[in-house]
Amino acid sequence: MSCSAAGGLALVAVAPRAGLGIDLEPAGPGPEGDEWLAAPELARLAGHAGEGTGEGIERTRAWTAKEAVLKAEGTGLRRDPRTVVTPAGGRGRLGSWWLAPLPVPAGWVATAALDRRWDPARVRVRPLTPERLR
């Protein structure tokens, strides 16, 4: 099980007998500064410079992919995020982890990391908001 929350939205993911990590963030410029990005990611993001929303979503996607892997490993931010070099679009293989974006409401970005190949189309996502919990 893994969970993530930001603003008024939360995700809880369950994958029986699998290593799992997820992260959820509002779509935007991502964390400030570049010190959390590895050199290949900086180069890839430079290709999106000036795209406005596209650049921000790619930065946020890189961050959610890093956080998903770090949560799945159980290290969290005790491990330097620069050592996790994410694939383009937050989708693909990263070491022993398989990454893919999760479907979330517009204005949000979420990524899951599992320790086995998985089909994102089979993922059931149920957003949890404070209003739905009442």
pLDDT of 68-113, one tens digit each?
A: 999 999 998 889 999 999 988 778 998 999 999 998 888 999 999 9
With a cut of 70, say whether residue 126 has pLDDT above it. Answer: no
Q: Which two tokens stand for residue 115?
A: 């320790």
Q: Which is nearest to 66 in space by CA: 31, 33, 117?
A: 31
Higher pLDDT, 123 or 85: 85
Is residue 63's pLDDT more than 70? yes
Task: Say if residue 36's pLDDT is above 60.
Answer: yes
Q: Please tell me the total number of residues recorded for the chain in this structure.
A: 134
Return all residues near 8 (Cβ < 8 A) that are at least 6 apart.
129, 130
State percent of the chain over pLDDT 70.
87
Say yes or no to pLDDT of 13 above 70: yes
pLDDT score of 131 more than 60: yes
Quick one: pLDDT at residue 20?
A: 94
Distance CA 75, CA 71 (A): 6
Per-residue pLDDT band at 50 (split at 50, 70, 90)? low
Average pLDDT, the chain: 85
